[in-house]
Each structure stands twice: as C-alpha cells, then as structure tokens.
C-alpha cells in the first residue's frame, strides 16, 4: 500500500470516528444537539474543521493551531515533521506528486472550508514551525461562515494557555 492509500484510509478513519462520536452524543437524552461544539488542537484542530464542514450538527468549532490545512503550502514551508513525510515521499517518487496532492485535496481543510456552517474560532501561532501560519490563514480565508481567529505573535506549535479564556468566552456565546 503506498502513501496515497495509507493517508486516505487513515484520515477517513479518523473523521469517521469523530462523526460516530457525534452520533453517540445525539442518542443521549440529556444532550441538546443545538448546544454541541467540537474542538481540538493540532491534528485534532484539523479534524475539528473537517467534522464541522462535513457534519451539520456542531454549532461551534474551535480549531487551535490546526494541522491538515492547505497541504501544498504546508509542505512547501515545512521544516519539521509531519509535513516533511509528504515531501520525503515525493522526493522518492516525483512522478506521483500530482496524484499525492490530488488525494490530499479531498482531505484538505482549505477545500472543505466553504462547506462549513458552524461558528468557527481558530488560533494560530505566528512562529509555528510545524503548521505554517500561512496554511492556517488559507483555511480561515476560505471559510464563508461566521468566523474569528486569534493570532498569537510569539507562539509556536503549542497549547496556548492565554487562548483558553478566549475560547471559553467565545464558546459561551454559541453553545451556552
């Protein structure tokens, strides 16, 4: 199985698992789905954006320093893993570059962004060497829903403690 197949299957499984989590919540009598949001950091942030684009149930999506954004730009800018895995593969198989990016385009949050109808809050660290800020801004700029982004000038790819208060206040507005 080559990288295209592995990536596609892995991402599909992760997104299916998140959708199943929403299915499970929806069966609970104590859960009002009008007040459900999704959140995650890094890969979880990327999956948050994907789930909220593919599933209409989340009212709010809070994606912190999301991965899985504008793959081609991220690969061009990457200096650390995980995006280097893609460029390493393309170096070995340059004839597959077009197919690699075609496969990834189906999972790219930049392409999914226009489908998102949730209220979206994103965060970005401007010195993030793992998930290039320009790839995150690309997704944000393609969102057509209600959106906000918090920019942290001095932060890398890390849990931004100052962001938690912003995030809770924002969530209260949309999910109570």
- Tens of pLDDT, residue by residue over 130-145, are 999 999 999 999 999 9
| pLDDT tens figures, 44-53 | 999 999 999 9
Q: Which of 42, 118, 123, 135 is the catalytic position? A: 42
Q: Which of 52, 128, 135, 142 is the catalytic position? A: 128
62 DSSP β-pair partners: 39, 121
How far is the C-alpha of 26 from the C-alpha of 97, rounded, in Å? 41
> Is residue 128 annotated as a catalytic residue, yes or no?
yes
> Is residue 52 annotated as a catalytic residue, yes or no?
no
**What pLDDT is recorded for position 107?**
86
**What pLDDT is recorded for position 9?**
65
Q: Is 143 exposed, middle or buried (0-12, 13-18, 19+ CB in 10 A)?
A: buried
Segments of the chain scoring below 50 in pLDDT? none
Relative to beta strand 37-41, strand 147-152 is: unpaired
148 DSSP β-pair partners: 121
Q: What is the pTM of this model?
A: 0.89
Q: Which of 70, 142, 155, 157 is the catalytic position? A: 157
**What pLDDT is recorded for position 165?**
95
> Is residue 157 annotated as a catalytic residue, yes or no?
yes
For 10: left if phi > 0, alpha if psi spans -120 to 50, otherwise beta; the answer is: alpha
**What pLDDT is recorded for position 3?**
55
Q: Which CATH class is domain 3-28+40-175?
A: alpha beta
**What pLDDT is recorded for position 136?**
98
**What pLDDT is recorded for position 21?**
84
Question: Could you tell me if 139 and 82 are in contact, meaning their C-beta atoms sit under 8 angstroms apart?
Answer: no
Output the CA torsion 106→43→63→166 (10° steps): -170
Domain boundaries, the chain: 3-28+40-175
């Amino acid at each position: 199985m080559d990288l295209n197949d592995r990536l596609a299957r892995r991402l599909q499984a992760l997104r299916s698992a998140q959708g199943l989590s929403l299915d499970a919540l929806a069966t609970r009598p104590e859960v009002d789905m009008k007040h459900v949001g999704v959140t995650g950091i890094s890969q979880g942030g990327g999956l948050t954006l994907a789930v909220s684009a593919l599933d209409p149930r989340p009212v709010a999506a809070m994606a912190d320093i999301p991965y899985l954004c504008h793959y081609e730009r991220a690969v061009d800018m990457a200096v650390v893993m995980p995006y280097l895995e893609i460029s390493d593969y393309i170096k070995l198989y340059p004839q597959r570059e077009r197919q690699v990016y075609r496969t990834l385009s189906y999972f790219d949050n930049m392409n999914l962004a226009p489908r998102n109808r949730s209220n979206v809050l994103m965060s970005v660290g401007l010195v993030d060497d793992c998930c290039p800020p320009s790839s995150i801004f690309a997704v944000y700029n393609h969102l057509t829903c209600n959106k906000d982004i918090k920019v942290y000038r001095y932060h890398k790819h890390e849990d931004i403690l100052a962001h938690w208060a912003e995030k809770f206040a924002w969530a209260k507005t949309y999910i109570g």
